[in-house]
Amino acid sequence: MARVTGIGGVFIKAHGGAKELAEWYRDHLGLDLADFGGAVLNWEEDKAGDGGLTVWATADPDGTWFDPSISGFMINYRVDDMDGMVAQLTAADIPILKGPDAHENGRFAWIMDPEGNKVELWEPALWDESNKG
């Protein structure tokens, strides 16, 4: 059976200007925008040491996982320095909804983009019970 082997791209339909939304992600989350207006995230440049995992999951329709966003999706972005990311977001007056929280597989924080999409930030760590807390 043929099967999906990974995420080949993430595409967001902007409610306002696509260029302005892309620039927000560039300016606040450090995405390096290419000439076509999007970013290419290269796993080989990731320093987490986990081989570049991507998680795929569904959410219950009555759950609160994506709150306060009303979007039907949430994107998890890997970050290389959670403390630095939180500091730059805070300096830009972008509220941290929650976190950073430590889990067995790294640290997480959540923000909203300017179009009301909840964004999950993840600083990966190799799975280890000692990473909790």
Rounded to 10 degrees, what is the CA torsion of 64, 22, 45, 132? -20
Band of pLDDT at residue 129, cut at 50, 70 and 90:
low
pLDDT band at 55 (very low <50, low <70, confident <90, very high): confident
Q: How far apart are CA 44 and CA 34, in angstroms?
A: 17
Q: What percent of the chain is predicted at pLDDT more than 90?
A: 68
- The predicted pLDDT at position 5 comes to 75
- Would you put residue 119 in left (φ > 0), alpha (ψ -120 to 50) or beta? beta
Q: H helices within the chain, ranges in order?
A: 18-29, 82-91
pLDDT in tens, 7-45: 878 899 999 999 999 999 999 999 999 999 999 988 888
pLDDT tens per residue, range 79-96: 999 999 999 999 999 999
Query: Which residues does 8 contact at the CB level (< 8 Å), separation at least 6?
Result: none
Residue 49 has pLDDT above 70, yes or no: yes
Q: For the purposes of burial, counting CB atoms within 10 Å of the CB of 119, is it exposed (0-12), middle (13-18) or buried (19 or more)?
A: buried
114 secondary structure, DSSP code = T
Work out the pLDDT band at 105, boundaries 50, 70, 90. Answer: confident
